[in-house]
Structure 1
């Protein structure tokens, strides 16, 4: 059965391209050398690691508009699998055979993989919150071009939603930090892709691109943590959580003044 596509609700917004540029600038500012001076507890994290982290954000979460348009169909297909995991069972077959192929930890690995990719999906759901707030404003384009545009919009997002988004991103990177788990998840997803390709026209090109996108996200995310010690990984995860929480709190404070 083909997964039902879940169309983007924001891609066709007339100012979505400007919204992405705004988000990219905000990310670059948050993880700039200047801003990171405010967090001396994280100064031991190498700059090249920060740059790889930022690259992942900009390449896979909030790429340039033209690339986002190309990825959107794949993203929709991936969302369909993540939100309806029973569709994966239809591709893989019975549980016993999958455990035989991938080992006894197969169910746990698959669950962790779906949870990680769900975190990726929620990152794009967060866009809807920003777009809805943008639509409430006058002089929308002028706002998006202002220095504190992101601060102004995110300050109106409910704290519960902002916290959930931050925790989802943290959960995504936590999965990336587990090399063995990521390896198993990638093997499973690559097997899913092979089976989809073997079934001819049963699955669309977008469906296959969706799974390919999932594999790419996992590989690129894992690459950030290659060769790192456990304490270094822990520090990076802590840095992401602290910087993102701090950004939201400061935005709320600025908005209330």
Structure 2
């Protein structure tokens, strides 16, 4: 079994299970939904998952390259903080809260990396146990069952953390401003910062902005309902498998 081909097939199989889980009628029948969380909102949420957390194999390669270039900064936010310390306006505006804002923004990007690691673990189990493509829902469930429940719980918590950040409108506004400032500063110094590093921040900003757009269409109460709904759907899926 060729690892890269297995990865491509598993990504496609897992994307299909995500798409099935986030069908409006299925969610409405199983969980009930307030009228204010309509079909269009659920469709946007499903597309958000498929575009940013579980993208196609080709798109994932591009995102991996961008986020890999930021890996050191994601692990050590203080390195990016040094760039911000040169900006008097940002320092004056956010002061001692700046490290928290930056850490939260980079934390949102960790969700994508968590999804990548999760899929790589599924690939390892598929190869080890000689489970071959096509990876339909039954095979994906079988592969998930080979992972530890604790590992999958951590992955769900990582996803939940992203949506908790998106739910905090004040924090999100600050995160977007700080990341945009970083992008601008890095573009001015391309001898130090690579295009991939800049691209990683741009994609991260896009991920946060698009997620924010979904939550912006909802009341505060429905935003909380949506975060809870996502968690319930993922945990129920896990309970069904185990």
Q: Same fold by TM (over 0.5)? A: yes
Q: Following TM superposition, by how much is the alpha carbon of 1:24 offset from its aligned partner in structure 2, in angstroms?
A: 0.9
Deviation per residue, 1:50-105 (Å, 9 max, x gap) = 11111111111111222222222112123332122122123223698742144553
Query: Which residues of structure 1 form unaligned runs of 5+?
Result: 1-11, 253-257
Deviation per residue, 1:194-236 (Å, 9 max, x gap) = 1111113211111110111111111011011113111101111
In the other structure, the counterpart of 1:153 is 143
In the other structure, the counterpart of 2:113 is 121
In the other structure, the counterpart of 2:63 is 71
Deviation per residue, 1:114-167 (Å, 9 max, x gap) = 2222233222221222122112222422xx433412211111221111111111
Question: Using the alignment, how far apart are the partners of 1:97 and 1:125 within structure 2?
Answer: 38
Question: Using the alignment, how far apart are the partners of 2:32 and 2:71 within structure 1?
Answer: 36
Calculate the TM-score normalised by the size of structure 2.
Answer: 0.90
Residues 227 and 148 (structure 1 numbering): CA distance in 2 closer, same or farther, change over 3 Å? Answer: same
Residues 38 and 159 (structure 1 numbering): CA distance in 2 closer, same or farther, change over 3 Å? Answer: farther
Worse-matched range after superposition: 72-81 or 237-246:
72-81
In the other structure, the counterpart of 1:255 is none
Candidates 203, 216, 236, aligned match of 1:213: 203
Structure richer in helix, relative to its length:
2
Residues 129 and 169 (structure 1 numbering): CA distance in 2 closer, same or farther, change over 3 Å? Answer: same
Aligned residues: 240
Candidates 229, 234, 237, aligned match of 2:224: 234
Contact 1:21 1:64 in 2 (8 A): yes
In the other structure, the counterpart of 1:7 is none
In the other structure, the counterpart of 2:33 is 42
Calculate the TM-score normalised by the size of structure 1.
Answer: 0.85
RMSD: 2.2
Query: Which residues of structure 2 form unaligned runs of 5+?
Result: none
In the other structure, the counterpart of 1:53 is 45
SS of aligned partner of 2:107: helix
Candidates 187, 207, 228, aligned match of 1:197: 187
Candidates 82, 86, 91, aligned match of 2:74: 82
